[in-house]
Amino acid sequence: MTMLAAMCVNLSAAELPVGRPPLPAEIAAWDIDARPDGQGLPRGQGSVKQGETLYLERCAACHGEFGEGAGRWPELAGGVGTLAHERPFKTVGSYWPHATTAFDYIRRAMPFGQAQSLQSDEIYALVAFILNLNDIVKDDFVASQANLPTIKMPNAAGFYDDDRETAERGFWVATPCMTDCKPPARITGHASAVDVTPDSKTAPKME
């Protein structure tokens, strides 16, 4: 019996046989996430004005002076009310349900290629500025740990949980149709008419 126990490690019954507890300083170094309820937001604050200066220095080259996006870089502002349009325009202002998400994202990923180089106060200021670009907060707004979770985003109510199993119930079929399932098929569109496929000249070379 004891032989067997030594040979078969059943993790669920045991302590994890490897690893060690993280030190508080180690958790602090990596614990950069922030949730919509404010959990994880660090202490700090930043104003729209401070954000504008920083944004022009560190963000505008890609995202445009007014968040309109330079070239094909992502837009950060505009589009409120377009989500049901034929060509919806999704931005922080028109689509994102939570302002805290902008904090979490900028803190971990922006500026693109210089990730995690911003201080908490700077991130609050940048979020304040982006919210201001989207007319969600006034020019004198100061974002902080306390008020970021309370910001009402225009599209906060625009999301609902996956309902495919009910809304698309019809896609579950006991016996698939095999013959004469629909009128004869007619071609309604050709990819060649759009012609956006890269040709082989643009393909990378293999070494």
> Which residues contact ligand HEC (rule: CB under 6 A)?
58-59, 61-63, 73-74, 76, 91-92, 102, 105-106, 110-113, 126
Q: At 47, is the secondary structure helix, strand, or coil?
A: strand
- Min dist CB 140 to other proteins, Å, is 27
C-alpha distances out from residue 63 to 66, 96, 105, 106, Å: 8, 17, 15, 13
Nearer to ligand HEC, 5 or 66 (CB): 66
> Considering CB distances under 5 to 8 angstroms, the limit depending on partner class, which of other proteins, ligand HEC, none binds residue 59?
ligand HEC
> Considering CB distances under 5 to 8 angstroms, the limit depending on partner class, which of other proteins, ligand HEC, none binds residue 143?
none
Nearer to ligand HEC, 94 or 190 (CB): 94
Residue 83, judged by CB atoms within 10 A of its CB (0-12, 13-18, 19+), counts as middle
- Min dist CB 105 to other proteins, Å, is 4
For the record, the structure tokens of 177 come out as 């149709």
Residue 47: CB atoms within 10 Å: 20
Nearer to ligand HEC, 48 or 102 (CB): 102
Nearer to ligand HEC, 27 or 35 (CB): 35
- Min dist CB 184 to ligand HEC, Å, is 43
Q: How far apart are CA 79 and CA 90, in angstroms?
A: 6
- Min dist CB 50 to other proteins, Å, is 23
> Residue 59 has what DSSP assignment?
T
> Considering CB distances under 5 to 8 angstroms, the limit depending on partner class, which of ligand HEC, other proteins, none binds residue 158?
other proteins
C-alpha distances out from residue 193 to 5, 144, 186, 188, 190, Å: 68, 52, 16, 11, 5
Q: How far apart are CA 145 and CA 100, in angstroms?
A: 9
- Min dist CB 27 to other proteins, Å, is 6
For the record, the structure tokens of 37 come out as 């309820």
